[in-house]
Chains A and B, each alone.
Chain A
Amino acid sequence: MSSSSSILTPAQKYAAGALFGLALHQAQIHQTRPLGFPSVDDDDGRSSDERVSSGSSSDSVSEDPQLWVHESSCLLRPIFKFLEIDNKAWSGLEETSGCSPPKHHVGAFLRLLAEESGGMPSEAVDKEHALANGVDAMASSMERNSVDDESKKEKHREYKNACQEKFSSAEIVSKTKQEEEKVPDNSPKEISHKQSITEQVHIQASFEFDEKQLEEVSYPRKVAVLYELLSACLADIPGDDKKCTRQRKGYDARHRVALRLLAAWFNVKWIKLEAMETMVACSAMALLKEEESKEETQSPKTSWAKWKRGGIIGAAALTGGTLMAITGGLAAPAIAAGFGALAPTLGTIIPVIGASGFAAVATAAGSVAGSVAVAASFGAAGAGLTGSKMARRIGDVDEFEFKAIGENHNQGLLAVEILVSGFVFEKEDFVRPWEVQHDNLERYALQWESKNLISVSTAIQDWLTSRLAMEMMKRGAMMTVLSSLLTALAWPAALLTLTDFIDSKWAIAVDRSDKAGKLLAEVLLKGLQGHRPVTLVGFSLGARVIFSCLQILAESENSAGLVERVVLLGAPIAIKDMNWEATRKVVAGRFVNAYSTNDWILGIAFRANLLTQGLAGIQPVEVPGIENVDVTSIIDGHSSYLWSTQEILEQLELDTYYPIFSPPAFKT
């Protein structure tokens, strides 16, 4: 592409690249120091000499290859290259991104973006507006269909009621008793505190730079900048750097997190970016398909070679353990199917965003060849996850299968969500807790080891409804169970009967969940999700699957850009002796641990760990960068994660960059 085909001027591209670099570095800092926590950069006090030295005495970026902005992580330079920023300016930009607090620079770069409007050809201004309109139209078409949503919610309510009736009566007894006893964890004070924190975070976010400078940048300009950066993130530019440690192609989770932060800085709604993602993906697919059909008529062999180069076959055709039932032969039709499914989407996109909008999109997306990676991501994806059933027994895991949820598959969504249930009574429970769509992601539920999970869940439930337990709960013994467990005091005799009953099953399930996590990690490493950023959400043993997956990823190379966000709910994971820090590092964006202080079933089932090492599903994990969310007020007992997960996810507002847990809204 030549620079004339772009909407932005070189200086604006420079500023865009710089802002992206700053956002990328901030995103990495926020991994371990989320906003809302005291941090060295926060105070504006001139007196502190930290202020003065922060710019001058930190290490130079070029010496710390751990940094995302470092050359070797290969996150920033390809972007600069795509933006056609003079390579002489790269080291300065990297250093700027990595060295100093962003608030010193963001304003300046924003002003640079805002400038030069006068000198711009009117054609470019028109394009900018066309693009912005297109994105707006796309975004509004993506806003969820409210009627549909309502019916789903209704269904979910039914499910919730049914579940509650079936399973939770026993637990709820203890819950109400507990409330009567006024357990301090549940006090409203907590909630108001939460609220203030949320506000604080928002204020902090806006204080990062001068609002005035933001206003100077027009909305179409912001959209154009974000669009250009997004295209750059998705484009697959042949790199000539040998220092590069990042071999994977596709959409890097770290890029997505940086874009998310940038959108927050720009005050542009995230849905607009999701709209852009779809637009870029679809236009790239269309162009690629055109090229593909052209090439096919000439020589099928070269096109096959091209696909290989594109990384699709590498991703889809599995070698080694023949873990999944996908072979090269199976993958090829799947790819074709992916294309076929996409074509109509493109047909709908053009009327939505308008022809001029589409022209602007195509221009901004740049060269056709540049966007191969997106399309590659995409093609393998449809069949990639759902098709990955277990070919044979691997490491004791009998069942491991992805189920597509929702109807938005193969529609150009560039982010994937994998949802893992871990406390199930029937096979439906793998899918049903997730059916209400709360975001615009391509969603898959993982169905794994249903036999074991159902058996352990049922065993727990049976015990709960057993006379002994009922009796005990009536006497209000259960509310003291957790505290006695925590303080390692005397155990109620009834608990000992539980232990015989459940322990062996629980132990097997825990073991399987670790193994399933390993499989999940392999799936992700092989790019079956289509080289797209993944959001992992799981409750109970499902959370353990995710954690075990993250542990494997933390040990593997090249895994940093896979996972974008993680939500663990009621996780049976020890706090001590587990490498939470390392797992935090493989998650580019938010890492949430939702716990309930009265989840005593979890406490009993996992008591061995609870006593000595702490338990993530019951206690906050005091590891920097992990958002601990107390959901005690929503969760009645361990089984209520089945129907309350949705509510928790809604309150987490995962699409927000900053840590948020909005206090429960009043619903009737």
Chain B
Amino acid sequence: MESSSSSLSSPPEFDYLFKLLLIGDSGVGKSSLLLSFTSDTFEDLSPTIGVDFKVKHVTVGGKKLKLAIWDTAGQERFRTLTSSYYRGAQGIIMVYDVTRRETFTNLSDIWAKEIDLYSTNQDCIKMLVGNKFDKDSERTVSKKEGIDFAREYGCLFIECSAKTRVNVEQCFEELVLKILETPSLLAEGSSGVKKNIFKQKPLESDASTSSCC
């Protein structure tokens, strides 16, 4: 998976644009995972406020892709906020911390339900990610449990570490490959339907409407 320079480069040329979403409890490492993926760095981060947004251009399977990745706050108080970001996402990454069991159980108790409730894409690809697997000694959630969960909810599964960057690239690559295999998601993400309200021609307003206000 090669990656090109990030967002501010001149005219974006890409075949598909995918919207990805990171969810999960506070402190499981969503922002770290994203940072590790987009800028190959790892640092201690304060809790995310609201939502964060990053863009990364990658080439997968010969296709140029633009990934718009939304990183949401896990904190309870922001939950009302994050619900509105499920809309239109082609891929949703559920993250838990392999050393904190409650973050895993909350996935089925809370987060999976949130997806059912708010996601607008029937076919959207879900992925289960067990983060912090470098701390193998403190592990409280086994790989087997993760696999079982993934099977039950019909999602992909991987364990990774944002800190050591093991499996981080693979995590996103697998998800993207799966999206590429799904025709309905592909149709949405193709740059053909890309629209920008300030560039496209404005709608024709019929004369009767426009003449009076």
Given A56-B17, A88-B52, A95-B53, residue A51 in contact with residue B205 (CB < 8 A) = no
Given A108-B83, A109-B81, residue A38 in contact with residue B205 (CB < 8 A) = yes
Given A32-B202, A51-B120, A627-B213, residue A59 in contact with residue B53 (CB < 8 A) = no
Across the interface, B50 reaches (CB within 8 A) one of A59, A66, A93, namely: A93
In the complex, which residues of chain A have a beta carbon less than 8 angstroms from the beta carbon of B197? 29, 33, 40, 58
In chain A, positions 70-108 with a C-beta closer than 8 Å to chain B are 85-86, 88-89, 91-96, 100, 104-105, 107-108
In the complex, which residues of chain A have a beta carbon less than 8 angstroms from the beta carbon of B88? 51-56, 100
Q: Are A629 and B196 in contact (CB under 8 A)?
A: no
A388 within 8 A of B: no
In chain A, positions 337-372 with a C-beta closer than 8 Å to chain B are none
Q: Are A57 and B205 in contact (CB under 8 A)?
A: no
Q: How far is the CB of A287 from chain B (nearest CB, A)?
A: 31
Q: Are A57 and B83 in contact (CB under 8 A)?
A: no
Most buried by B among A58, A64, A67: A58
In the complex, which residues of chain A have a beta carbon less than 8 angstroms from the beta carbon of B210? 37, 620, 622, 628
Q: Other than A55-B19, A95-B53, A661-B212, give 17 A-B pairs with Cβ distance below 8 A.
A: A11-B77, A37-B203, A37-B205, A46-B120, A49-B187, A49-B193, A53-B88, A55-B87, A56-B90, A57-B189, A89-B50, A92-B51, A92-B52, A190-B212, A193-B208, A194-B213, A629-B213
Q: How far is the CB of B193 from chain A (nearest CB, A)?
A: 5
Q: How far is the CB of A278 from chain B (nearest CB, A)?
A: 31
Q: Are B84 and A104 in contact (CB under 8 A)?
A: yes
Residue on B with the closest CB to A10?
B49
Given A38-B205, A39-B203, residue A56 in contact with residue B213 (CB < 8 A) = no
Q: Are A630 and B211 in contact (CB under 8 A)?
A: yes
CA distance A554 to B82 in the complex (A): 39
- Sort A-B residue pairs by CB-CB distance and give the 5 closest, nearest first: A55-B88, A56-B19, A95-B53, A56-B88, A624-B202
In the complex, which residues of chain A have a beta carbon less than 8 angstroms from the beta carbon of B77? 11, 112, 115-116
Given A18-B50, A52-B188, A66-B198, residue A108 in contact with residue B17 (CB < 8 A) = no
In the complex, which residues of chain A have a beta carbon less than 8 angstroms from the beta carbon of B195? 40, 50, 53-54, 57-58
In the complex, which residues of chain B have a beta carbon less than 8 angstroms from the beta carbon of A322? none
A63 within 8 A of B: yes
CA distance A188 to B207 in the complex (A): 17
In chain B, positions 1-23 with a C-beta closer than 8 Å to chain A are 7-8, 12, 17-19
B68 within 8 A of A: yes
CA distance A51 to B88 in the complex (A): 8
In the complex, which residues of chain B have a beta carbon less than 8 angstroms from the beta carbon of A104? 84, 87
Across the interface, A96 reaches (CB within 8 A) one of B51, B193, B208, namely: B51
A60 within 8 A of B: yes
In the complex, which residues of chain A have a beta carbon less than 8 angstroms from the beta carbon of B70? 92, 95
A659 within 8 A of B: yes
B194 within 8 A of A: yes
CA distance A361 to B212 in the complex (A): 42
Most buried by A among B66, B68, B71, B90: B68
In the complex, which residues of chain A have a beta carbon less than 8 angstroms from the beta carbon of B187? 49
Q: Are B50 and A194 in contact (CB under 8 A)?
A: no
In the complex, which residues of chain A have a beta carbon less than 8 angstroms from the beta carbon of B115? none
In the complex, which residues of chain B have a beta carbon less than 8 angstroms from the beta carbon of A111? 80-81
B175 within 8 A of A: no
B209 within 8 A of A: yes
A570 within 8 A of B: no
Given A95-B53, A96-B51, residue A60 in contact with residue B213 (CB < 8 A) = no
CA distance A268 to B84 in the complex (A): 25
Q: Are A622 and B81 in contact (CB under 8 A)?
A: no
Q: Is the interface of A mostly helix, strand, loop or mixed?
A: helix
Q: Are A62 and B193 in contact (CB under 8 A)?
A: no
Q: Are B213 and A59 in contact (CB under 8 A)?
A: no
CA distance A194 to B19 in the complex (A): 41
CA distance A107 to B83 in the complex (A): 11
Q: Are B87 and A14 in contact (CB under 8 A)?
A: no
Given A37-B210, A112-B78, A112-B81, residue A58 in contact with residue B196 (CB < 8 A) = yes
B89 within 8 A of A: yes
Residues of A within 8 A of B (CB): 10-11, 14-15, 18, 28-29, 32-34, 36-40, 46, 49-60, 62-64, 66-67, 85-86, 88-89, 91-96, 100, 104-105, 107-109, 111-112, 115-116, 190, 193-194, 197-198, 201, 620, 622, 624, 627-630, 659-661
In the complex, which residues of chain A have a beta carbon less than 8 angstroms from the beta carbon of B81? 15, 105, 108-109, 111-112
Residues of B within 8 A of A (CB): 7-8, 12, 17-19, 46, 48-55, 66, 68, 70-71, 77-78, 80-81, 83-84, 87-90, 120-121, 187-191, 193-198, 202-203, 205, 207-213
CA distance A190 to B213 in the complex (A): 11
In the complex, which residues of chain A have a beta carbon less than 8 angstroms from the beta carbon of B49? 10-11, 14, 85-86, 88-89
Q: Are A60 and B55 in contact (CB under 8 A)?
A: yes
CA distance A52 to B52 in the complex (A): 21
In the complex, which residues of chain A have a beta carbon less than 8 angstroms from the beta carbon of B202? 32-33, 624
In the complex, which residues of chain A have a beta carbon less than 8 angstroms from the beta carbon of B120? 46, 51-52
Given A67-B198, A86-B46, residue A628 in contact with residue B78 (CB < 8 A) = no
Across the interface, A628 reaches (CB within 8 A) one of B7, B55, B71, B211, namely: B211
CA distance A50 to B88 in the complex (A): 10
In the complex, which residues of chain A have a beta carbon less than 8 angstroms from the beta carbon of B189? 56-57
Given A55-B88, A630-B212, A660-B213, residue A622 in contact with residue B207 (CB < 8 A) = yes
In the complex, which residues of chain A have a beta carbon less than 8 angstroms from the beta carbon of B208? 193
Across the interface, B17 reaches (CB within 8 A) one of A50, A57, A62, A622, namely: A57
Most buried by B among A10, A56, A92, A96: A56
Q: Are A92 and B80 in contact (CB under 8 A)?
A: no
Q: Are B84 and A60 in contact (CB under 8 A)?
A: no
Given A52-B188, A55-B19, A111-B80, residue A624 in contact with residue B205 (CB < 8 A) = yes
In the complex, which residues of chain B have a beta carbon less than 8 angstroms from the beta carbon of A628? 210-213
In the complex, which residues of chain B have a beta carbon less than 8 angstroms from the beta carbon of A51? 88, 120
23 contacts between A and B (CB under 8 A): A18-B50, A38-B205, A50-B195, A51-B88, A52-B121, A54-B195, A55-B87, A56-B89, A56-B188, A58-B196, A67-B198, A86-B49, A88-B48, A88-B52, A89-B52, A92-B51, A92-B71, A95-B53, A95-B68, A115-B77, A624-B205, A630-B212, A659-B213
